[in-house]
Structure 1
Amino acid sequence: MLVQLNRAAGEAMSSLTGPGPAARVFAGVDWAENNHVVCLVDADGQVIDRITVVHDKAGIARLITVLTRAQVAGVGIERGDGPLVVALLAADLPVFVIAPSQVRNLRSRYGSAGNKDDRFDAFVLADVVRTDQRRLAPLVNDRPETRTLRALVRARKDLVGHRLAVANQLRAHLLIVLPGVVGLFSEFDAATSRAFIAAFGTQDAVDALTAKQLQPWLRQRYYHVKPATVLLQHLREAPPGVTGAAGQAMAGITQAYLGALNTVMTHIEALETQIAGALAAHPDAAIFTSLPRAGTTRAARLLAEIGDCRGRFPTAAALAGLAGVTPSTRQSGHTRIVAFRWAVDKQLRDAVCDFAGDSRKANPWAANLYQQARARGKNHNHATRILARAWLSIIFKCWTTNTPYQPDQHRALQTLLLQQHPKPDMG
């Protein structure tokens, strides 16, 4: 049986390079950390070859060779980033990303029990590209500058998550051993707060502080902080912490958490410097930095997650759909269900909603749209997605015309401003 299968596979593969028009071949790649299972199917959905390649330079090169020789018409894969995808795109192979959740649902299409199997998933990916290619959007390659910027902003986002985790651990620890420090400054993980914990990290040190000692310390290091008397009052009114030998022992834990937090903060600041430089050098920077309260990091995230290939999104609705800010509507007969959209680019949705949620603090049109949604009974997250959808229509127009956002050309904004501040009657 195995000999027959191999013979059939060899005959099918040889027919690809034989005389006459080449048969259409489709490939599926089940991605894994150490190796990748690949399945090739013909135009009828019959398996013509299966291989497993190691996730290294030689393995990826071997895979590219197999796919290019077979002249595959499309490659299905579950993720759209990484060295393997970069190599596929560099070889000018049409790549279609099919989310793992979609693959999981598609298994039942072939009568599978639904269990995870790498060989079977590779077949599913290949066959879906064969049957549904017209419904799939091919993955496009952004500029190297955009891919670099995307890696930077995603790394920063990951580190921000670590910062929050370590800061929460330090805060929980201090609530036991030194409660007075919690809430002493406006931001717990700010430089002022971290320096104070480093200098006065025990209850005994805090109890020995006087306004005469604290005021010069504050003046030498920071500006725009509360007076020393106010800070001391907060420290005196807080519940007592751990003192004596036990307090000194606990101080070691405090400094360990603080050291971890300082390290993460240092790396975040270094990444932000790199992000600012990469954004400034990007051709599309002016479009995204012109958006209200976009700043540098937020503008960089929007640019990186949307990308720079205009052909990826034929309409603003396509961009909004991938970002998950439009609902998923299912209708059958008289039944119509509108639900939250799950199968989306979560990185893009997070970037767009983060921008939209903050934009209402600087843009009256955005604030009005958000308040209208809240007045209709929408919660904060839903109202933010509604606002994000509206913003994406504007961003899409700016992006496709290479034009920065201009508030004086935003008709809805100008109409609202005119209603709020009508011009005086000069008659």
Structure 2
Amino acid sequence: MLFVGDDWAEDHHDVEIQDESGRKLAVRRLPEGAAGIGRLHELIGEHLGEADDPGQVVVGIETDRGLWVQALAAAGYQVYGLNPKQVARFKERYVTSGAKSDAADAHALADMVRTERHQLRAMAGDSTQAGAIKVIARAHQTLIWERTRHLLRLRVALREFFPAALDAYTPLGLTGADTLELLIKAPDPVRAARLTGGQITAALKRARRHHAAAKAEQIKTALRMSHLTQPEALNAAYSATVQAIAAVLLTLNEQIGRLEAQVDTHFHQHPDVEIYLSQPGIGEVNGPRILAEFGDDPDRYASAKARKNYAGSSPVTRASGRSRIVLARYVRNDRLADALHSQALSALTGSSGARAYYDKQRTRGASHNSALRQLSNRLVGILHGCLKTATRYDEARAWPQHARAVEPLTA
């Protein structure tokens, strides 16, 4: 077998090739791109017999994505996308002075996959469909987070100089198309007070609001209420800020809508879509996110416990001597944890078994968040079983000891 350490940078890769005894066979700095990957294949070929399997080549690199990593996997090599924290701890056995070089890093990576690969996780063999869902679902979620950040900035600016706008527009939602249109048109108290009922009604109708005329009258009244004001120079600066943020929010709304359609298209093309959508609490938004973060490699999770550990829903036990404590797991995939929390919360109203399980934890004295985390942990196990057996969710089989006649809560 051959072991390759690949220390990557934006424009080059430092690589070292070792044999099974740890003997250094080759050290090179290769350029990024097709030329570099071609030269790496040549180097490996010089030390790998023609009849040998590419699977005998083990590569360690501190990333699990990108064109270079895809090329390594496509060649048939065993690729380990290593956590930088794990690599940093491993390198401490070589150097305690803090000295560092790219060649030394490549050497450490090659040594790590040669001696410790039984403790490491090889890069998941997810399908291209799952990869596409991951890219688009993450982009969609990121834009939603960006919208929330800009919304908070808008609220702060309005509270500082234009509180009447908060009174007038908050019932509609500050990210609504009509609210943003009116803020761009009249971003300060003076111009907002001059808005006519007809202008406000037209904006509400374009946003398809019900009872537009009545709501427009309420908005007009709120905008003309007396409030404290800022000096003229500050007023001008704040109004320009509000206009800019409102314009960004309009663009974000448009792009979020477009990405949402793409997420839906990719998600419904995946063969496991029906299994995911059959789960309680999983819908068209968090379903793609959960699939994206778990991936669809059937051999990635050896057991339900392994999937729960990756999800971060299972607890962590710390035992030393007579001390033993059980804590929530906070080192986890935050995107996946967020989606699973949403699933557990929604499952309370969609599954009598899930609700009974949650109530049981609460009766035992668990807090709301703790009970919800335990419910999420159970739901991950149920999802794992359904995916392994390629079966849809069944309430009676999922909760044989908890299912009972519980009326679903109303939203």
- Taking the aligned partners of 2:261 and 2:34, their CA distance within structure 1 comes to 32
- Taking the aligned partners of 2:370 and 2:24, their CA distance within structure 1 comes to 45
- Taking the aligned partners of 1:299 and 1:110, their CA distance within structure 2 comes to 44
Matched, 1:76 2:60: yes
Displacement, 1:182? 2.3
- Taking the aligned partners of 1:393 and 1:237, their CA distance within structure 2 comes to 56
TM-score scaled to structure 2, two decimals? 0.84
Q: Which residue identity is paired with 2:15?
A: V
Q: Which residue identity is paired with 1:206?
A: A
Name 1:353's counterpart in structure 2. Answer: 341
Matched, 1:178 2:144: no
1:106–1:124 Cα contact (<8 Å) kept = yes
1:167–1:189 Cα contact (<8 Å) kept = yes
- Taking the aligned partners of 2:233 and 2:406, their CA distance within structure 1 comes to 67
Name 1:16's counterpart in structure 2. Answer: none
Tell me which of 401, 404, 407 is aligned to 1:417.
404
Matched, 1:395 2:380: no
1:329–1:339 Cα contact (<8 Å) kept = yes
Name 1:54's counterpart in structure 2. Answer: 31
Displacement, 1:380? 5.5
Q: Which residue identity is paired with 2:24?
A: V
Q: Which residue identity is paired with 1:366?
A: A
Matched, 1:147 2:131: yes
Q: Which residue identity is paired with 1:283?
A: P
Question: Could you report, residue by residue, the CA deviation over 1:210-251 in whole angstroms, capped at 9, with x for unpaired residues?
Answer: 657644653454224773344345445573445868645643
- Taking the aligned partners of 2:99 and 2:369, their CA distance within structure 1 comes to 35
2:396–2:403 Cα contact (<8 Å) kept = no
1:374–1:383 Cα contact (<8 Å) kept = yes
Tell me which of 275, 295, 298 is aligned to 2:263.
275
Name 2:51's counterpart in structure 1. Answer: none
Name 1:266's counterpart in structure 2. Answer: 254
1:204–1:243 Cα contact (<8 Å) kept = no
SS at match of 2:88: helix
Name 2:243's counterpart in structure 1. Answer: 255
RMSD: 3.0
Name 1:9's counterpart in structure 2. Answer: none
Matched, 1:190 2:176: yes
Q: Which moved more, 1:142-151 or 1:320-329?
A: 320-329
- The 1:217/1:80 distance shift into structure 2, 3 A limit, reads closer
- Taking the aligned partners of 1:310 and 1:384, their CA distance within structure 2 comes to 27
Displacement, 1:276? 0.8
Name 1:5's counterpart in structure 2. Answer: none
Name 2:209's counterpart in structure 1. Answer: 223
1:185–1:192 Cα contact (<8 Å) kept = no
Question: Could you report, residue by residue, the CA deviation over 1:176-228 in whole angstroms, capped at 9, with x for unpaired residues?
Answer: 23222225234321223223323432212322346576446534542247733
- The 1:99/1:353 distance shift into structure 2, 3 A limit, reads farther
Name 1:40's counterpart in structure 2. Answer: 17
- Taking the aligned partners of 1:374 and 1:119, their CA distance within structure 2 comes to 55
Name 1:8's counterpart in structure 2. Answer: none
Name 1:302's counterpart in structure 2. Answer: 290
1:64–1:88 Cα contact (<8 Å) kept = no
Name 2:52's counterpart in structure 1. Answer: none
- Taking the aligned partners of 1:381 and 1:39, their CA distance within structure 2 comes to 48
2:341–2:376 Cα contact (<8 Å) kept = yes
Tell me which of 132, 145, 160 is aligned to 2:144.
160
Q: Which runs of 5+ in 2 are unaligned?
A: 49-55
Displacement, 1:375? 6.0
2:181–2:203 Cα contact (<8 Å) kept = no
SS at match of 1:74: strand
Q: Which runs of 5+ in 1 are unaligned?
A: 1-23, 422-427
Aligned residues: 397
Q: Which residue identity is paired with 1:274?
A: Q
- The 1:156/1:221 distance shift into structure 2, 3 A limit, reads closer
User: More relative contact order in 1 or in 2 (CA 8 Å, sep 6+)?
Assistant: 2
Name 1:14's counterpart in structure 2. Answer: none
- Taking the aligned partners of 2:325 and 2:47, their CA distance within structure 1 comes to 44
Displacement, 1:105? 1.7
- Taking the aligned partners of 2:106 and 2:330, their CA distance within structure 1 comes to 23
Question: Could you report, residue by residue, the CA deviation over 1:57-85 in whole angstroms, capped at 9, with x for unpaired residues?
Answer: 21123223333544454111222111121
